[in-house]
Amino acid sequence: MNTIPLATAKARLAQYVEAKDNNRPALIHEAFALDASLTFSIDTDTISFPQKAEGADAIASTLVSEFAKTFDRCRTYYIGDAAAALDGNAMTIPWLVVMRETASNALRVGKGYYRWGFDAGDDGTYRIASLHIHIERMDTIADPGAVTLAALQTALPYPWLPAPVLAAAVKAHTGAQPAQGFLNVFAQAARMP
């Protein structure tokens, strides 16, 4: 059985982040198979998504078009090493998101993990066949002027974020801003399944 090359898997994940974070739904159709499936598990009541979406059109609507109606200035970070996370045609990797909720101008910081499944189509091109998004935590924080949003996004390499860099950046931020010590919970990657 052939397996997806690491460079191809990373390219598909990059397309997903570009689509979601920058409101480019057409990229979902490049990254995902037409009949791809999306499922969610959510451990918080601070955000909601439909339980599942079937097909690239529904995924683009759920994760890009509808998402962009509520959130902007989004940056989604993959935490850790893609090579270590890739297992055949599957990859499970923690994520962190730092974004703004547009209606309230509040900072939203969340974490969880993605479980990706890849498959080669009839033409031999690998695309995302399945995506499970687990949301472990999603906090809403007052952030007048988006100062904390800008500080965090500036401090974090995007979109691949080594875990030690995440821990150091959060520690430095909360050290300089002790009132934001609540962010320390995001210094560690999400619990993996």
Per-residue pLDDT tens for 135-183? 999 999 999 999 999 999 999 999 999 999 999 999 998 888 888 888 8
What was the pLDDT predicted at 108? 96
Q: Is residue 193 assigned to a domain?
A: no
Q: Is residue 192 assigned to a domain?
A: no
| Mean pLDDT across 21-46 | 96
- Domain extent, residue 181, equals 6-187
| Mean pLDDT across 20-46 | 96
Q: Is residue 33 assigned to a domain?
A: yes
8: number of Cβ within 10 Å: 15
Long-range CB contacts (< 8 A, 24+ apart) of 160-163?
A: 160/77, 160/78, 160/82, 161/77, 161/78, 161/79, 161/80, 161/96, 162/79, 162/80, 162/81, 163/79, 163/80, 163/188, 163/189
pLDDT > 70 fraction of the chain, expressed in percent and rounded = 99
Confidence of residue 1 (pLDDT cuts 50, 70, 90): low
What was the pLDDT predicted at 28? 97
How many domains, in total, are found in the chain?
1
Q: Is residue 89 assigned to a domain?
A: yes
Kindly report, residue by residue over 75-134, the tens digit of the pLDDT: 999 999 999 999 999 999 999 999 999 999 999 999 999 999 999 999 999 999 999 999
Q: Is residue 19 assigned to a domain?
A: yes
CA distance 99 to 74: 4
**Buried b / exposed e along 48-84 (16+ C-beta atoms within 10 A):** ebeeebeebebbbbbbbeebbeebebbbbbbbbeeee
Amino acid, single-letter form, for residue 89 = N
CATH number at residue 30: 3.10.450.50
Q: Is residue 66 assigned to a domain?
A: yes
Q: Is residue 51 assigned to a domain?
A: yes
